[in-house]
């Protein structure tokens, strides 16, 4: 993989995060957000193909080379919106666009819906709203989360004897990926430990959510988005269930259906170029 980015670290007021910088310094400001358990390398194929933009591809807290949240803190999805906003503040960006994949797309919608005056454009890949839960399930969800929190332990993360074993495991993980995509994510996501390699990700990311937004909450954020929004749907992605397809049809966003899996922008060059062909005119618009 050729190096087409600059590696940086940002000391935000509440946490230190790592990121990859792509594109010209005078390009349109874009903050790129990866999916759950992934890292900034998810944009390593796509970002170099996007024109006229200055991309900050974050490792979200608990992922990649960014710090983990302090002990006792949670990984609520809406807290990532604060991380993104503080990143924009570091660069002095009062208006910026968001490029999000999966969980990163969900965070993008939450932030754009909450602070429409700050977000210029939304470029989303196979993600839009979080898994929702209604009020009657909230006590059970909180109880399950608290119980799991009592026993969470970084030592229980899997240890792989070789880099290649870790790559093979990631290929079969959430949102299965190609071998080369898994290699790219693993190169940034693994760290050496006695006995081999394990993931840098915080074990608390595997905990069940303590609370979920209701469907009404989620739609309120969608309808709060005031900027242009373009959503790429992978034909073999995670939004192919009938209920999710029905949901996407009701979105006030421009939809583009492309062949490929959930990581179509990373799995191969053809997929990355197809996504870039959608987003280049969108950002230029």
Q: Quick one: pLDDT band at residue 174, thresholds 50, 70, 90?
A: confident
Output the domain CATH number for residue 29: 3.40.50.1820
Angle, helices 103-114 vs 79-91, to 10°: value is 70
| Mean pLDDT computed over 46-72 | 97
**β-strands 6-11, 28-33: how paired?**
unpaired
Assign 155 a pLDDT band (cuts: 50, 70, 90). Answer: low
In the predicted structure, residue 176 carries a pLDDT above the cut 90: no
Q: Which residue would you say has higher pLDDT here, 232 or 246?
A: 232
Classify residue 160 by its DSSP letter. Answer: B
Domain contains 98 = yes
Residue at 189 is within a domain:
no
Predicted confidence (pLDDT) at residue 106 exceeds the cutoff of 60:
yes
- Spot the catalytic one: 44, 66, 97, 102: 102
- Tell me the average pLDDT across 118-127: 98
End-to-end CA distance of the chain: 30
pLDDT at 154 (0 to 100): 65
**Rounded to whole angstroms, how far apart are CA atoms 72 and 185?**
27
Full-model pTM: 0.96
Cα dihedral 154/157/160/163 (nearest 10): -70
Q: Is residue 164 part of a domain?
A: no
Give the residue carrying structure tokens 């006590």.
Answer: 139
Looking at every residue in the chain, the average pLDDT score rounds to 95
Other CB atoms within a 10 A radius of the CB of residue 256 amount to 17
Per-residue pLDDT reduced to its tens digit, 200-241: 999 999 999 999 999 999 999 999 999 999 999 999 999 988
263 pLDDT exceeds 60? Answer: yes
Which range marks the domain in which residue 219 is found? 6-132+213-284
Q: Which residue has the tokens 């949102």?
A: 175
Residue 149 forms part of a structural domain: no
In a domain, 277, yes or no: yes
Q: How many domains does the chain have?
A: 1
Known catalytic residue at 230: no
Query: Is residue 222 included in any domain, yes or no?
Result: yes
CA 258 → CA 2, 181, 233, distances in Å?
Answer: 26, 18, 6
The whole-angstrom separation of Cα 222 and Cα 214 is: 13
Residue 81 has a pLDDT of: 98
pLDDT at residue 1 above 80? no
Chain segment 75-101, per-residue pLDDT in tens? 999 999 999 999 999 999 999 999 999
Which residue reads 């993931």 in tokens?
199
Question: Which residues lie below 8 Å from residue 2, measured CB to CB, with a gap of 6+?
Answer: none
44 vs 245, residue with greater confidence: 44
Residue 153 is predicted with a pLDDT of 73
- Confidence at residue 228, expressed as pLDDT on a 0 to 100 scale: 98
Q: Is residue 271 part of a domain?
A: yes
Distances, alpha carbon 190 to alpha carbons 55, 159, 170, 252, in Å:
23, 10, 11, 38
How many Å apart are CA 262 and CA 222, to the nearest integer?
Answer: 21
Q: Which pLDDT belongs to residue 46? A: 98
Residue 39 in any domain: the answer is yes
- Answer yes or no: is pLDDT of 3 > 90: no
Higher-pLDDT residue of 71 and 112 is: 112
């Amino acid at each position: 993989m050729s190096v087409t980015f600059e590696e940086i670290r940002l000391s935000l007021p509440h946490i230190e995060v790592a990121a990859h910088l792509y594109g010209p310094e005078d390009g349109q400001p874009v903050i790129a957000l990866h999916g759950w358990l992934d890292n900034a390398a998810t944009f390593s194929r796509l970002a170099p193909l996007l024109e006229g933009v200055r991309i900050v591809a974050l490792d979200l807290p608990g992922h990649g080379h960014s710090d983990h949240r302090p002990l006792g803190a949670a990984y609520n999805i809406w807290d990532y919106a604060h991380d993104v906003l503080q990143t924009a503040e570091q660069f002095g960006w009062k208006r910026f666009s968001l490029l999000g994949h999966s969980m990163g797309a969900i965070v993008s919608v939450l932030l754009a819906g909450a602070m429409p005056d700050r977000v210029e454009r939304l470029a989303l890949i196979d993600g839009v709203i979080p898994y929702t839960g209604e009020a009657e399930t909230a006590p059970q969800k909180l109880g399950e989360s608290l119980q799991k929190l009592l026993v969470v332990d970084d030592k229980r993360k899997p240890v792989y004897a070789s880099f290649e074993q870790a790559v093979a495991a990631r290929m079969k993980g959430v949102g299965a990926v190609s071998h080369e995509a898994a290699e790219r994510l693993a190169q940034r996501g693994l760290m050496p430990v006695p006995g081999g390699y394990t993931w840098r990700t915080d074990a608390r990311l595997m905990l069940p959510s303590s609370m979920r937004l209701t469907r009404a909450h989620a739609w309120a954020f969608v309808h709060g988005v005031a900027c242009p929004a373009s959503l790429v749907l992978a034909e073999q992605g995670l939004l192919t269930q009938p209920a999710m397809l029905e949901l996407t049809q009701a979105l006030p966003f421009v939809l583009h259906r492309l062949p490929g899996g959930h990581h179509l922008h990373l799995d191969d060059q053809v997929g990355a170029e197809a996504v870039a062909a959608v987003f280049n005119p969108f950002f230029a618009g």
